[in-house]
């Protein structure tokens, strides 16, 4: 699993589209750099990407977190419209500095561990990173929102 963290200091009503562009670029890079034999197998999967917007502003976030809300007449096409929702962490809604530090340091640590896993190409690092994320403050926070 990859975490896509976007730091945002103002409401951006195009955020779901921007995140889709970033995620598509990540998947394209992954696909291009994957062995052709591996990616042509039935079991090949792209990595999961968790898009998170860290909103750092005094004002509340009012933009939609759902991609489908940017599509004209999306409701007419139901399940056939591309859709996802990003997690939103608004710094102004966090209760205390400790909670903020815990979330940010968990994300930084997770990001560093993923880099190590890629560098050494060890599968157990990936498993450890997933375990680290699920035990971290960000995971617990995201379960509450």
The answer on 61 and 9 residing in a single domain is: yes
Average pLDDT over residues 56-75: 94
The answer on 106 and 55 residing in a single domain is: no
Tell me the pLDDT tens digit for each residue of 92-141.
Answer: 777 666 666 676 666 666 666 666 666 665 554 455 455 555 444 444 44
Residue 121: predicted pLDDT: 58
The answer on 80 and 55 residing in a single domain is: yes
DSSP label at residue 14 = T
The answer on 102 and 81 residing in a single domain is: no
Structure tokens at 113: 């561990």
Residue 92: predicted pLDDT: 76
CA distances from 37 to 26, 40, 43, 64 (A): 20, 5, 11, 39
Name the residue range of residue 145's domain.
95-145
The answer on 64 and 28 residing in a single domain is: yes
Domain count, the chain: 2
Which pTM does this prediction carry? 0.70
């Amino acid at each position: 699993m990859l975490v896509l963290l976007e730091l945002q200091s103002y409401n951006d009503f195009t955020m779901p589209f921007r995140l889709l562009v970033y995620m598509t670029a990540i998947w394209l890079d992954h696909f291009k750099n994957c062995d052709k034999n591996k990616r042509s197998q039935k079991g090949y999967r792209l990595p999961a990407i968790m898009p998170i917007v860290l909103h750092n502003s005094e004002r509340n976030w009012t933009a939609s977190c759902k991609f489908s809300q940017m599509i004209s007449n999306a409701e007419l096409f139901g399940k056939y419209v591309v859709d996802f929702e990003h997690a939103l962490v608004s710094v102004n809604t966090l209760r205390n500095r400790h909670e903020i530090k815990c979330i940010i340091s968990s994300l930084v640590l997770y990001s560093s561990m993923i880099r190590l896993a890629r560098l050494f190409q060890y599968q157990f690092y990936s498993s450890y990173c997933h375990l680290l994320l699920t035990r971290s403050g960000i995971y617990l926070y995201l379960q509450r929102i």
